[in-house]
Amino acid sequence: MNYTTQMDAAKKGIITKEMEVVAKKERMEPDKLRQLVAEGKVVIPANKNHKSLNPEGIGQGLTTKINVNLGISKDCNDIDKELEKVQSAIDMKAEAIMDLSCFGKTETFRRKLIDMSTAMIGTVPMYDAVGFYDRELRNITAEELIGVIEKHAEDGVDFMTIHSGINQETAAVFRRNPRLTNIVSRGGSLIYAWMALNEKENPFYEFFDKILDICEKYDVTLSLGDACRPGSIADSTDPSQIKELMTLGELTKRAWERNVQVMIEGPGHMSLDEIAANMKIEKKLCHGAPFYVLGPIVTDIAPGYDHITSAIGGAIASANGADFLCYVTPAEHLRLPNLQDMKDGIIATKIAAHAGDIAKGIPGAREWDNEMSQARRDLNWKRMFELAINPEKATEYRRESTPEDPNTCTMCGKMCAIRNMNKVLEGKDINILRED
């Protein structure tokens, strides 16, 4: 039986090879996964032209996935350095990489990225439009903006952020409800500016059916972008954000009618007490579609440490139903991340995702922690390093500070609680002052 997309196959009762791979990774029965894909509650971003892809699922009942943002800019346009980051992100088992390149002819970098990446690849075609056509934003036509989407699809991009929800109605709500930080989404601000400069409707909303034609042809997953995501905790859960989310829910149903997979993007900056409610609001308004969040960043005062502010929010978001976390690095709000920034962002976000998975009861999540606890009880340092989310750093810390007793660390020495409890329970003397 023929099918056009993963969702089309799922509705027809077909278990694709991608579904089989994902089901095995997730410890889920393939037919259960197929049903979730058919309902739109799980997406498997897998462009037909991305031949090196090792597919992943995002959504209900699955492990929380993380995304790494990369790409060249006008100030930092060294493709080789970005490709080094790509390889490192793949080695660190990031499930997704987004190419956010926004300078010059980006096709070379994008094609190399897709060719080498086993991780799913996302883009924001709006970022590429000015460089693609070498023309100022206001002079690019609606048809040309749609053309960039088609080009990215042809190249093999698995999911695309398309800011379709910032239509004229949403823009009017934004103008009537002033914000502290206005619109901070790069793609959202570009679309808002295009609409204002040309006095026209958002082409990604007006010509949404044309976008669905492209997505259906190549099986591109739509990541419906949150142009009105809050850029400060003062702006979270405001009329603009909620109005856009309502529009995205309507567009989700239209996409599903065409068998196009959809996930929804969300905040942003948000105080801790609002996160759980926001996860529920998205799932309700967008009919259970997977939720992809940036952070949320829970305080605005920590430039240089926003991988931490983001991980705090990400863990709470994941525990309350977020399915996909976009990493944030220490360089957020400050500069293009370097390689170490990227690594720090990946680790922080993976910790947040795993903490959320424990709370959600995802199969295998708590077992990993139990294995680590067993290794600690046994003072099995080798096994601890094998299980660590970042073995390299754990090994380095141990090597840099060597204890007198190899069964302890330099914090407690022979007063180590685990060492002494093991000995006492075995009927032995703990010998704190003497040699064993």
Query: Was 320 annotated as part of a binding site?
Result: no
Say if residue 269 carries a ligand binding annotation.
yes
Count of residues in the chain: 436
Q: Is 333 annotated as a binding residue?
A: yes
102 annotated ligand binder: no
104 is in an annotated binding site: no
Q: Does 345 count as an annotated binding residue?
A: no
Distance separating alpha carbons of residues 125 and 150, to the nearest angstrom: 9
- C-alpha 6/C-alpha 56 separation (Å) is 12
Ligand-binding site membership of 127 (annotated): yes
Residue 305 annotated in ligand binding = no
User: Alpha-carbon distance 260 to 215, whole Å?
Assistant: 6
50 annotated as belonging to a binding site for a ligand: no
Tally of CB atoms within 10 A around 340 = 12
The reply, when asked if residue 98 is annotated as ligand binding, is yes
All residues at 6 or more sequence positions from 375 whose CB lies less than 8 Å from its CB, including other chains: 383, 384, 387
| Omega before residue 296 within 30° of 0, cis | yes
Query: According to the annotation, is 163 in a ligand binding site?
Result: yes
Confirm whether residue 115 is marked as ligand binding: no
Tell me: is residue 165 an annotated ligand-binding position.
no
The closest of 57, 66, 262, 279 to 164, measured between CA atoms, is 262
- Is 193 annotated as contributing to ligand binding? no
Distances in Å between the alpha carbon of 198 and those of 132, 195, 282? 19, 5, 31
Return the closest-CA partner of residue 342 out of 82, 12, 115, 160: 82
Cα–Cα dist 246/172, whole Å: 15
Helical (H) or strand (E) element with 292: strand 291-294
Which H/E stretch holds residue 224? strand 221-224
Q: Round to whole Å and give the CA distance between 121 and 133.
A: 22
154's enclosing H/E stretch is helix 142-155
Q: Which residue numbers belong to the known binding site for Zn(2+)?
A: 269, 333
Q: Which residue numbers belong to the known binding site for [4Fe-4S] cluster?
A: 409, 412, 416
Q: Which residue numbers belong to the known binding site?
A: 69, 98, 127, 163, 185-187, 226-229, 265, 269, 292, 333, 409, 412, 416
Q: Which residue numbers belong to the known binding site for substrate?
A: 69, 98, 127, 163, 185-187, 226-229, 265, 292
